[in-house]
Structure 1
């Protein structure tokens, strides 16, 4: 199963499939597990979209996501250039937010909470990340999105 999931993560049409659903206001179908992130292209200045899985939601206005493909992910690089973004999650649509890369210590804490709360999901996600990216789940960057009020 891990190999199939890793291949799916590298398949453009598959990872982009949720985007139209979010933009149509149907993000609630994903039960708050997935979110849509709108970020600004660092070269083009154009809005870009990516669907990502939420790792943690420590507060109503804070969401933690992981850059499974590391620092090379376009969305991650775009947020480094301009941390202003917009988020769709659950019934929340087009909400302004600010991104911040977590420190290694903060990332370790987030990952440990996830590991304790969801041991089976953690084991599967670990395998998928490693198969897809050849990186350990502990070595990828984590980003906190703070939703504006």
Structure 2
């Protein structure tokens, strides 16, 4: 199964397919596990969009996401330049948010909770990330989105 997941993560049309649904107000179809992140291109200044899976939601106004492709992911690099963004999740649309990269200690706590609460999903995600990128699940950056 990890082979299929890894291939899907490298397939542009597949990873971008939820974007129009979120923009049309249908994000609730994905529950509260998938979100749409609008960020600003660091070179173009234009709005950019990426659909991502939520790793944790420790509070109603805080969401944790992972950069499965590490520090080279475009959305991650853009948030490093401008942490102001917008989030679509569930019935929430275009909620303003501010991004902050978690420390290694904070990331380890998030992963410990995720591994405990979702052991099968953790194993699957770890395999997909490693097969797709060569990075371990402990080595990728985790980002907190503080919703306004």
What's 1:14 paired with? Answer: 14
What's 2:117 paired with? Answer: 117
| Structure 1 CA distance for aligned equivalents of residues 5 and 83 of structure 2 | 29
Query: TM-score when scaled to structure 2?
Result: 1.00
Q: Which structure 1 residue ranges, 4+ long, deviate > 2 Å from structure 2?
A: none
Per the alignment, in what secondary structure is the counterpart of residue 43 of structure 1? coil
Determine if the alignment matches structure 1 residue 95 to structure 2 residue 95.
yes
Determine if the alignment matches structure 1 residue 66 to structure 2 residue 66.
yes
1:6 Cα deviation after fit: 0.1
What's 2:139 paired with? Answer: 139
Q: Which runs of 5+ in 2 are unaligned?
A: none
| Structure 2 CA distance for aligned equivalents of residues 125 and 76 of structure 1 | 18
What is the CA RMSD across the aligned residues, in angstroms? 0.3
1:67 Cα deviation after fit: 0.1
1:120 Cα deviation after fit: 0.5
1:80 Cα deviation after fit: 0.1
1:145 Cα deviation after fit: 0.1
What's 2:85 paired with? Answer: 85
Determine if the alignment matches structure 1 residue 34 to structure 2 residue 39.
no
Determine if the alignment matches structure 1 residue 57 to structure 2 residue 51.
no
| Structure 1 CA distance for aligned equivalents of residues 108 and 14 of structure 2 | 29
What is the number of residues matched between the two proteins? 148
1:122 Cα deviation after fit: 0.3
Query: TM-score when scaled to structure 1?
Result: 0.99
Per the alignment, in what secondary structure is the counterpart of residue 138 of structure 1? coil
